[in-house]
Amino acid sequence: MKKIYSINGMTCGGCVASVTKKLHEINGVVSASVSLENSEALVQLESPLEIEIFKSALGDKYTVSEKNEGISVDFNSQNSTNEKSKIQQLKPLLLIFLYLFVAAILLQIKVWSTTSFMLDFMGLFYIVFSFFKLLDLKGFPESFRMYDPIAKVFPLYGWVYPFIEIALGLCFLMRFKIPMALVVTIIILGVTTIGVLKSLLGKKSIQCACLGTALKLPMTQATFIENAIMIVMALVMLLTL
């Protein structure tokens, strides 16, 4: 069953990530989708839970109340609507990938080089994606640690990750220390991809932090494919150098 809860006290993407994490930790909660704009949480439950359980889990910072008292929603009946919504939410990610792809091609239009194309694409990818993360540097680490294995153990990693992306982006664009940058890419994206895969297999409804918290993107197969593309390109480059 699904229930909607009003949650007051959220002020940023970090709050959304924190509330989402705490909701997922409650026994009996299958998934939770939190909206900062509406100050709401759509929660799928295995069975009805007392409101006091949610209040205890979220703490005094947030005020929780049930908006659909006694009303349950059939999850299966909304599958098609949810899928359509996810596609719409992923539109910014798809457009960014298209722009990066075209930009990398244009940089090679006079003298085509597949190697240079991949290096430019990877460099632009890191620079652009780090920009969106820096828009909400406070909220990004909370969202990132919900699925990245390293960030879960070392929270500081989430704070420095955007700057690691900037450094890697500059390495690729300036053709500096390419082998090292490729190895680091394979490692950090490989670890993140493991976390993404676990979240997808566990059917957790969480926000993807690939574009920070400025754009509300759901964790979907597109996130996995995005990382996989970068890992494959890095492997190919490393083998051909």
Tell me the whole-structure pTM to 2 decimals.
Answer: 0.69
Q: What was the pLDDT predicted at 161? A: 95
- Here the tokens at position 167 are 């450094």
Orientation of helix 221-240 relative to helix 114-134, angle to 10°: 140
Give me the residue spans of the domains in the chain: 2-73, 84-240
DSSP sequence for 86-153 = HHHHTHHHHHHHHHHHHHHHHTTSSS--HHHHHHHHHHHHHHHHHHHHHTTTTTHHHHHTTT-HHHHH
- Cβ atoms < 10 Å from Cβ of 105: 13
119-130 pLDDT tens trace: 999 999 999 999
CATH code for the structural domain at 2-73: 3.30.70.100
Residues of the chain scoring pLDDT < 70: 13, 68-87, 89, 203-207, 213-220
Q: What was the pLDDT predicted at 218? A: 66
